[in-house]
Chain A
Amino acid sequence: MRFYLGTDVGGTFTDLWATDDRGNAQVFKSPTTPDVLTGVLNVVRIAAEANGLTMREFCAAIERFGHGTTVGLNALLTGTAANTLIVTTEGFGDTLEIGRMRRQTAGLAEAEVTDFFLHNRYLPLVPRGNIVEVDERIDARGQVVKVLDENQAARALRAKSREIGNVEAIAVCTLWSTANPSHELRIRDIAAEVFPGVFISLSHDVAPVVGEYARMSTTAANAALGPIAGRYLSRLQEELRREGMRVPVVMMTNAGGVLPTEVLNGRPAYALFSGPAAGVIASAHIGAQIGVKNILSTDIGGTSFDVGVIVDGRPIMRREISVGGASICIPSIDVDSIGAGGGSIAAVSFGKLTVGPRSAGSTPGPVCYQRGGQEPTSTDADLVLGVIDPDHFIGGRMKLDVEGAKRAIHDKIAKPLDISLLEAACGIRDVLDSKMSDLLRRATIERGKDPRDFLLFANGGAGPSHAWALVRDLGIRKFIVPAAATVQSAFGCAVSGLGLTKERPVYLRVSTAGTPAAKDLDAVAGTLSDIDREARSELSNAGARGAINTVRTLAIRYRGQSNTLDIAVINATFDATAFKAAIAEFEREYEANFGEGSTDAKAGFEIVNARVLASGVLEPPPTENRGVMEAGVARSVVFDVAQGPIETAIWRTSFPPPDAQVVGPAIVEFPGQNVVVPPGYRAVADRIGNLHVASEP
């Protein structure tokens, strides 16, 4: 017997999804531990026991060990990352402090923006005192303007070493190192002499982008994570090897696609968002299995609602993400998020109902958890509405307090608003659902897509019980609850292929009518084929077998804009024909995104970046479906306040058998989630355990 495993470390639970070589899928959870590693080993041990094996026998039978974790993210957000030095060009020591003046308000909740007291909460990743300026200068063409003063650099580093002590990591980020890395490489050697054995990141290697702020903050984050993430991953690998595992741990990256930990040891920032990325990859994988190409991959947990958008089978990416107020310029799957989930708190102020973004989290949690929560939450509303069975929550492992939830909603919501208890509970659900719809609309419409062209995949503990309201609101035909919906990130880590991105800045400016000179086109073509070759060779070193596919894209914009679109280069070489095709595709996509009449070729075009996304196949684990579904005791559930409570069929399963059908009104209870099938809808299980819920024709 062989096993394929995916593990994902979340804030509360460490999840494990496993399947054997006959396709029996299993799901396990264990509390996350402060050191992370113990929690991962615990959940592996639980899986071993469940299969009647010793830890040793189980580990020896592991064929794949995929992993995702937010260890790095938490370290950055809580300021527990490594003590890091930055080495930069003279005169650029204030780059991180200045940033982009932090006037961006995107993604913040209303209250976070209007209350200036909440502004500027984040300190720079590396304090000003940890920055060393060195005498050197390279210009935009890559020419050395001022030769690196090696003695000065060594002196400055030694002085800093005496001053701050205990340096664990160094980020080297000099001006225009992307055009000529020679000074960064030399500084690395000098730094390695002054600080033997210290983790060093070079900006031209980690974040080869134009613009010194994003490049520096990315390199600083990477360096600050290096010692922590590297130590953690090598210990994980070592522990599992000691227990007999023969395969390497493969880690999910921000861009989707896993890589062996050795490849990532030098660039931990590439795996910073492995959890959310794995969730979207899971949806894309299931989509490929069942022939769905346009997917809204959603996850509703206790505190946040996450959305990834998959178009034509490929997750939408972004060039830059923001962590703790710092820009991280690494190609990543774009996951939008708002504070809305089961723990979102409902309140009345000045006669108006508000829900979220404040959350009760898991402690104290909703009132019905009886852990001291006093304020009614979305979960309390779901309980009052009959969506959740108080005696069968998480498979009956936790009893919920219905009376407490009722009391809280009555006292804090219904009474002050002078409405009935059910109206209040429905109101809480409606307000929360509408906020989630708003995010789904923004995530699609912002990119020129119509939400009705997508199917919604509902993941996370609360996802399957709210999905029906979201699809109804957005006019989406159907939602699908994946078989592994409660552990989708772990599932994504288990099934993902290898993936690696390489990028490099290029610069090509074209006026309206002109075709660029052949030598300028050749320069872009050369860069594209260089990074294509590098990506292929790194991926085959990482263990890819068989064919490696690459997708080559160029970042194009109108002259003067700062926003770019990534346009795929389909032609084998980048000549005048390919250039014209790319520009035509840019204008077409631009108009699709921003509306008819928004294009303006008169402005001219700029090509600023080249990227290659390489993917290699890892043998996918088999999946087969052998579950059963049993009828439970029917109960009253409120779907609509005007209709009031209606008798609703209850079904229980942990894995719906193929072709099982449920006609709404019904609730299908899984351990850890309830799929709500409203009146007029029908749920049908496919051959691999996904539940498809659509309105009756």
Chain B
Amino acid sequence: MNKRIAQPETNPVTYEVIRSRLLAITDEMRIALQSVSGSPTVTDACDFFTGLFLPDGSFVSMGFQVTFQAPVVGHLIRAVYERKYFQLNDGDMFCGNDPFVGALHQNDVQLAGPIFADGKVIAWAGVEAHVTDIGGMDFASWSPRARDARQEGLRLPCVKLVEAGKMREDILEMILTATRLPAQLGLDFRAFVATLNVARERMGELVARYGAETLVAVMGEMMTDSEARFRARLSEIPDGHIHAADFLEHDGHSNELYRIDLNLSKFGDRLVFDFGGSSPQAPGFVNATRSGLEGGTIGSLLPTLAYDIPWNQGICRAKVPNSTRQCGGYPSSTILQAWGEQASREGVLQKDTVWLALGPKSGLRRMREGDVFKGRWQGGGGWGDPLDREAQAVAADLKADLISSDAAFQIYGVVCDETLVDEQATEQRRAQLRLDRVGGKFKPADASRSAKPIGSIGYNLLIVRSDDELQVISKGGCVLSRDSTRWRSGAVKGKSPLPGCLNIRLHDRLTMTSYYCPSTGQMLAVDVHEADRNPTDDVILDPHSLHSADRLAAAE
């Protein structure tokens, strides 16, 4: 009962107290930033990031705004150390926004400053925010016409903006001269300084209370703790390869198609991201640098696989980004844009407006009072077969104006008068649609009744074991693949044109392939792919790791 705690600086109580405090400090940084900033992207859209870092640039704690930014400020911190001409003083702050050092694009301006204790740097505080304008060829530094990063605004690789607590007014003036909104950007920089000052003061109090050594030990332990938990999460998942390809169209100059290709391998407690199959660099503004790719990758990982693990760089030690090719940008094939010249008077839309359809990345247009820009997005991605969605839920979507009556009929197979569902007609139509999908004849189900489910792929594919054989079967009981999870070969392939009511236009080089269960006509997957390439299998799991997962489940 009277055992001493091993080391006072790493006992679980101090650990949790300091960890909560670091999170609280990160949030106090957010409050300072939002209160002082002059950019609506910060105050209303929350397009910013605050965090605490180790001197090697690893993030220890982060705010919860734009997760993609988490690893980015670390690059700026490393860039400071790489430049040997810098001397680090207490109260220094460094500014940067260069995508080739660390930023998603030039609008993402960052400021980072070291935190000293006993004459040594023990940590860094960093802040990043999307500022409205940082110069460049077009207003808002957002230039579809750009051919080169130099046209997209002022680039600050790594500049000392605050020297020992004093603003370098000459540098600030230089930066503000480059922007079209000097007053707003001026407030943003004041906000950045206030944000880092909050972090410096609070960290100083923590050092005074617990000592620098304890603080550093806890920060290190936070990393190893999250790493261990993330590796444990990865170990629970079967080994294998995941393949995914998505596309960007139009580089701002011509309607080229760009492929972003990811081969994700998972083995043991490691994840490897390989983007090597992606298209080469584009001559326009759709590229991403390494830091953008890293930000996107880690930012997606945190809420999906690490949703219950404290977020810090420890999670990313289980992950290796592997290529410097491009990705990022905004797919526009699913947004219909239109222009209505003088379409509104005093804010009221004129009924007889003629809409001019705009292509993807139509670029800068001069707007006069009364002109209207209209953007119409597609709905979000679906989950499962639209014919399985409850008819009443479809009717509710229709009533809420989320879908059109054409979509309800064509895509969901729901027959309704306004919002009143005709259940019988709906059943008949859905049955007919399912039959049409497989060419008018269902194949009898052939899965064994004694097959034991040991996993699933999505919501309508089961991985089962039947007489020591691994199979992927559909919910309808049809065996699609044996000894492998490459199930597409066993499904019915359909190439139907996109229903017009979807409001989606595919790029000329793209096509869509659907896969159906041969026994029931249930939709299993839809692939969007290049017309001259066959879709590839997306989930290829290692059968052995599935068997061990199975044994694990049996042992419990």
Chain A residues engaging chain B, CB cutoff 8 angstroms: 90-91, 100-101, 103-106, 108, 110-111, 113-117, 128-129, 137, 139, 145-146, 175, 348, 350-355, 417-423, 426-427, 430-431, 434-435, 438, 441-442, 445-446, 558-563, 593-595, 597-600, 602-604
Size category of the binding interface on chain B: 35 or more
A434 to B27, CA, bound (A): 16
CB distance from A456 to the nearest CB of B (A): 18
CB distance from B211 to the nearest CB of A (A): 16
A594 and B35 contact, Cβ closer than 8 Å, known pairs A103-B46, A350-B225, A600-B187: yes
Task: Give every chain B residue within 8 A of A104 (Cβ-Cβ).
Answer: 46
A480 to B3, CA, bound (A): 37
Task: Give every chain B residue within 8 A of A111 (Cβ-Cβ).
Answer: 308
The list of the 4 closest CB pairs from A to B, nearest first, reads A427-B13, A145-B346, A438-B24, A560-B38
Task: Give every chain B residue within 8 A of A417 (Cβ-Cβ).
Answer: 12
A100 to B45, CA, bound (A): 8
A114 and B302 contact, Cβ closer than 8 Å, known pairs A137-B348, A353-B12, A442-B27: yes
A442 and B17 contact, Cβ closer than 8 Å, known pairs A602-B186, A603-B183: no
Q: Considering the complex, give the chain A residue whose CB is closest to the CB of B309.
A: A114
A420 touches B46 (CB 8 A): no
A220 to B520, CA, bound (A): 47
B38 touches A603 (CB 8 A): yes
Task: Give every chain B residue within 8 A of A434 (Cβ-Cβ).
Answer: 16-17, 20-21
CB distance from A679 to the nearest CB of B (A): 20
CB distance from B487 to the nearest CB of A (A): 27
Q: Considering the complex, give the chain B residue whose CB is closest to the CB of A565.
A: B35
Task: Give every chain A residue within 8 A of B302 (Cβ-Cβ).
Answer: 114
A446 to B401, CA, bound (A): 43
A104 to B42, CA, bound (A): 11
Task: Give every chain B residue within 8 A of A351 (Cβ-Cβ).
Answer: 12, 225
B183 touches A602 (CB 8 A): yes
A419 and B5 contact, Cβ closer than 8 Å, known pairs A145-B348, A431-B16, A595-B197: yes
B21 touches A438 (CB 8 A): yes
Task: Give every chain B residue within 8 A of A441 (Cβ-Cβ).
Answer: 24, 28
B18-41 vs A: 1/0 string, CB under 8 Å?
001101100110111011111110
A418 to B2, CA, bound (A): 11
Task: Give every chain A residue within 8 A of B285 (Cβ-Cβ).
Answer: none
In the complex, given contacts A350-B232, A422-B1, A593-B35, what are 5 additional A-B residue pairs having Cβ atoms less than 8 angstroms apart? Answer: A91-B348, A427-B12, A561-B36, A599-B190, A602-B182
A560 and B28 contact, Cβ closer than 8 Å, known pairs A114-B64, A137-B347, A353-B13: no
A423 to B309, CA, bound (A): 25
Q: Can you list 30 A-B contacts (CB < 8 A)?
A: A91-B349, A100-B44, A103-B65, A106-B27, A110-B310, A113-B64, A114-B64, A114-B302, A114-B308, A115-B307, A137-B346, A350-B228, A353-B15, A417-B12, A420-B1, A431-B16, A434-B17, A438-B21, A446-B31, A558-B187, A560-B184, A560-B187, A561-B38, A562-B40, A594-B32, A595-B32, A597-B193, A603-B183, A603-B186, A604-B183
B183 touches A101 (CB 8 A): no
A431 touches B310 (CB 8 A): no
Task: Give every chain A residue within 8 A of B308 (Cβ-Cβ).
Answer: 111, 114-115
A594 to B38, CA, bound (A): 14
B17 touches A431 (CB 8 A): yes
A387 to B190, CA, bound (A): 48
A93 to B2, CA, bound (A): 66
Q: Considering the complex, give the chain B residue whose CB is closest to the CB of A562.
A: B43
Task: Give every chain B residue within 8 A of A602 (Cβ-Cβ).
Answer: 182-183, 186
A559 touches B183 (CB 8 A): yes
A352 touches B16 (CB 8 A): yes
Q: Considering the complex, give the chain A residue whose CB is closest to the CB of B13.
A: A427
CB distance from A384 to the nearest CB of B (A): 12
A445 to B3, CA, bound (A): 39
Task: Give every chain A residue within 8 A of B64 (Cβ-Cβ).
Answer: 105, 108, 113-114
Q: Considering the complex, give the chain A residue whose CB is closest to the CB of B35.
A: A563
The prevalent SS among residues of B at the interface is helix
Task: Give every chain B residue within 8 A of A426 (Cβ-Cβ).
Answer: 13
Task: Give every chain B residue within 8 A of A435 (Cβ-Cβ).
Answer: 20
A90 to B198, CA, bound (A): 46
Q: Considering the complex, give the chain B residue whose CB is closest to the CB of A114.
A: B307
Task: Give every chain A residue within 8 A of B88 (Cβ-Cβ).
Answer: none
Which of A146, A350, A445, A561 is the one whose CB lies under 8 Å from B229?
A350
Task: Give every chain B residue within 8 A of A430 (Cβ-Cβ).
Answer: 13, 17
Q: Does B306 contact A (CB under 8 A)?
A: yes
B303 touches A116 (CB 8 A): yes
CB distance from A307 to the nearest CB of B (A): 14
Task: Give every chain A residue within 8 A of B187 (Cβ-Cβ).
Answer: 558, 560-561, 600, 603
Which B185-201 residues have a C-beta within 8 angstroms of A? 186-187, 190-191, 193-194, 197-198
CB distance from A165 to the nearest CB of B (A): 15
Which of A431, A559, A597 is the one whose CB lies under 8 Å from B13?
A431
Q: Considering the complex, give the chain B residue whose CB is closest to the CB of A117.
A: B307
Task: Give every chain A residue within 8 A of B346 (Cβ-Cβ).
Answer: 137, 139, 145-146
A129 to B395, CA, bound (A): 12
A111 to B307, CA, bound (A): 8
CB distance from A194 to the nearest CB of B (A): 22
A116 and B43 contact, Cβ closer than 8 Å, known pairs A431-B17, A560-B187, A595-B194: no
A559 to B2, CA, bound (A): 62
A145 and B229 contact, Cβ closer than 8 Å, known pairs A113-B64, A420-B2, A603-B187: no
Q: Considering the complex, give the chain B residue whose CB is closest to the CB of A115.
A: B307
A116 to B38, CA, bound (A): 29
CB distance from B143 to the nearest CB of A (A): 23
Task: Give every chain B residue within 8 A of A106 (Cβ-Cβ).
Answer: 27, 30-31
Task: Give every chain A residue within 8 A of B46 (Cβ-Cβ).
Answer: 103-105
Task: Give every chain B residue within 8 A of A354 (Cβ-Cβ).
Answer: 16
Which of A101, A145, A423, A594 is the one whose CB lies under 8 Å from B194?
A594
Task: Give every chain A residue within 8 A of B186 (Cβ-Cβ).
Answer: 600, 602-603
Task: Give every chain A residue within 8 A of B31 (Cβ-Cβ).
Answer: 106, 442, 446
Task: Give every chain B residue within 8 A of A421 (Cβ-Cβ).
Answer: 1
Q: Does B167 contact A (CB under 8 A)?
A: yes
A103 to B130, CA, bound (A): 15
Task: Give every chain A residue within 8 A of B190 (Cβ-Cβ).
Answer: 597-600
A603 touches B184 (CB 8 A): yes
A146 and B348 contact, Cβ closer than 8 Å, known pairs A352-B12, A420-B2: yes
Task: Give every chain B residue within 8 A of A129 (Cβ-Cβ).
Answer: 399-400
A420 and B3 contact, Cβ closer than 8 Å, known pairs A594-B35, A598-B194: yes
Task: Give every chain B residue within 8 A of A175 (Cβ-Cβ).
Answer: 347
A598 to B38, CA, bound (A): 12
CB distance from A183 to the nearest CB of B (A): 14
Task: Give every chain A residue within 8 A of B401 (Cβ-Cβ).
Answer: 128
CB distance from A375 to the nearest CB of B (A): 17
Q: Does B412 contact A (CB under 8 A)?
A: no
A558 to B232, CA, bound (A): 50
Q: Considering the complex, give the chain A residue whose CB is closest to the CB of B401.
A: A128
Task: Give every chain A residue within 8 A of B40 (Cβ-Cβ).
Answer: 562
A442 touches B28 (CB 8 A): yes
A438 touches B20 (CB 8 A): yes
Which B74-122 residues have a C-beta within 8 angstroms of A? none
Task: Give every chain B residue within 8 A of A350 (Cβ-Cβ).
Answer: 225, 228-229, 232
A91 to B344, CA, bound (A): 12
Q: Does B142 contact A (CB under 8 A)?
A: no
A129 to B397, CA, bound (A): 11
Q: Does B311 contact A (CB under 8 A)?
A: yes
B183 touches A563 (CB 8 A): no
CB distance from B379 to the nearest CB of A (A): 14
Q: Considering the complex, give the chain A residue whose CB is closest to the CB of B189.
A: A600
Q: Considering the complex, give the chain A residue whose CB is closest to the CB of B14.
A: A430
CB distance from B442 to the nearest CB of A (A): 37
A422 to B1, CA, bound (A): 8
CB distance from B199 to the nearest CB of A (A): 12
Task: Give every chain B residue within 8 A of A438 (Cβ-Cβ).
Answer: 20-21, 24
Task: Give every chain A residue within 8 A of B45 (Cβ-Cβ).
Answer: 101, 103
B13 touches A598 (CB 8 A): no
